[in-house]
Amino acid sequence: MSPFLQIIQMGFEAIVAIFFNLFFWLVIFLIYMQYKKTSEIEIQILGKEKRSLKDKTIHAAALGLLGGIVGTVVMMGFGVTVDAKDFLWLLPLALLLMTIHVRYLCFSYAGGLLSFSSLVFGFPKINVPSIMAIVAILHLIESILIRIDGCRDAIPVFQQDARYGIIGGFTLQRFWPIPFAVLLLSVVPIEGAQEIHFPDWWPLFRSGTDILEPNNIALQITAVIAALGYGDLAFTQTPKEKSKRASRRLFFYSIGLFGLALLAEKIKLFQYIAAIFAPLAHEMLIFYGQKEEKKGLPIFRQHTNGITVLDVEEGSAAMKMGLEQGDIILSINNRPVKSKEDIQEILRYYPSYIWLDVMNLKGKMKMLHHQNYRDGIHNLGILVVSEDVQGIIDPEASASLLGYLFKKWRRFRR
């Protein structure tokens, strides 16, 4: 077996062991609490959860494990080494920031703050290049998870817009626990460590141990737990398109940060640059996304003719006939539709067959149909945008876990 395959195998074994770590289950619990908040928004808007809390948490843990395996392969391959004490600061700070605002569940903020403090004030003493490399790899993992899972369980919301009145959109909130393995290097042999011969260039990040001989490195592998979160709003794009763009931008951000980490390993000045770039560039990505939303045209808005579909219920008549988010229903059975009441009136007598004239987001007309000769059709299973919608909310109001727990405590005291 090649040295790289050996070390990756050791990394996988370390990941398995972390499932017996109490801190891992603490992170799972915090993610469960985040999904509990989103479930309450779903109930407020839809009257029920799209999926159970149990399903959401298990799904997140499974994808997090997949992301951790990818991260382990990358870290082992490049040889990103750390000092064990660095993680005594990194993850707790990230979790603390998460309680203030969900978007701070991001290692660019925690890693940037710690690195800058270490460089300027000398406390805590951490290895900046290695930390920045790990932050970059975690964001690479996040970009992949956002691409495949970012739009899942998008929650429909309504807002008041100065130009178009009531508009619809989605809040995207995903959280993943990421168990991954890291390399610890030592100048002296570690009891129980393995000696594996690697090329001279490996490892790229030596955690400050420049005096190590590349052909005789004492290795110790341990697993740590990280938590990643993605939060966004989609009013001018569909949730799928929004998460796709966010994933692409975050991918290039992670590549840029990793490049700075490589330079920081060789040149001291780039440690300062990387420490500042990590949180600042990430904040700029968020600012750009928000600016894009404000300037864009809301796609889930009201129209003079027809009514806009915001969301489609799983397994509903609408889903079976192919109705999609953003479609504009112009008529049902040749009767014009301009409000929810029009739909209710048409379905009042449980028709056994209906056909819809619909215009999609690209302006293309299509005709959809559905039949149910046994029971008739009394509900399409859609959420539409109209002036009389219930549940106009501010998605930012649920962004703070600390605020959410405080509200729960106040209710309990009453």
211: pLDDT confidence band, cut at 50, 70 and 90? Answer: very low
| DSSP per-residue codes, 263-319 | HHHH-THHHHHHHHHHHHHHHHHHHHHHHHHHHSPPSS---SSSEEEEEE-TTSHHH
Tell me, yes or no, whether 353 and 253 share the same domain: no
Q: Could you give the number of structural domains in the chain? A: 2
In a domain, 184, yes or no: yes
Euclidean distance between CA atoms 328 and 300, whole angstroms = 9
Residue 270 has what pLDDT? Answer: 97
For residue 357, what is the domain's CATH number? 2.30.42.10
Question: Burial letters for 218-250: b for 16+ Cβ neighbours within 10 Å, e otherwise?
Answer: bbbbebbbbbbbbbbbbbbbbbeebbbbbbebb
Q: Are residues 198 and 286 in the same domain?
A: yes
Which residue range is the domain that position 348 belongs to? 307-384
CA atoms of 273 and 293, how far apart (whole Å): 29
Q: Residues 335, 262: one domain?
A: no
Average predicted confidence (pLDDT) for the chain: 86
In-domain check, residue 411: no
pLDDT digits (tens, 9 = 90+) for 300-339: 999 988 999 999 999 999 999 999 999 999 999 999 999 9
* 225 and 323 belong to one structural domain: no
Check whether residue 360 and residue 287 sit in a common domain: no
If pLDDT is split at 50, 70 and 90, which confidence band does 285 have?
A: very high
pLDDT at 394: 57
Q: According to DSSP H, which parts of 329-390 are helical?
A: 340-346
282 and 356 in a single domain? The answer is no
Q: Are residues 276 and 353 in the same domain?
A: no
Tokens of 99: 């309680």
- As a whole-number percent, the residues of the chain with pLDDT over 70 amount to 85
The answer to whether position 397 is within a domain reads no
Is 399 inside a domain boundary? no
110 and 166 in a single domain? The answer is yes
- The answer to the question of residue 237 being in a domain is yes
pLDDT at 193: 46
pLDDT band at 198 (very low <50, low <70, confident <90, very high): low
Could you tell me the pLDDT band of residue 409, with boundaries at 50, 70 and 90? low
Looking at 263, 295, 327, the residue that finishes a domain is 295
Q: Are residues 148 and 25 both part of a single domain?
A: yes
Residues 46 and 94 occupy one common structural domain? yes
Q: Say if residue 114 is in the same domain as residue 241.
A: yes
Residue 62 and residue 105 share a domain:
yes
Q: What is the pLDDT of residue 190?
A: 47
Model confidence band, residue 76 (pLDDT cutoffs 50, 70, 90):
confident
pLDDT over 60 at 412, yes or no: no
Residue at which a domain ends, from 260, 295, 330: 295
- Cβ 114 vs Cβ 108: under 8 Å: no
In a domain, 400, yes or no: no
Residue ending a domain, choose from 242, 265, 295 = 295
301 inside domain: no
User: Percent of the chain scored above 90 by pLDDT?
Assistant: 54
Tell me the average pLDDT across 76-98: 79
* pLDDT of residue 399 exceeding 80: no
User: Please, which pLDDT band fits residue 46 given cuts at 50, 70 and 90?
Assistant: confident
320 assigned to some structural domain: yes
Whole-angstrom distance, CA of residue 257 vs CA of residue 397: 31
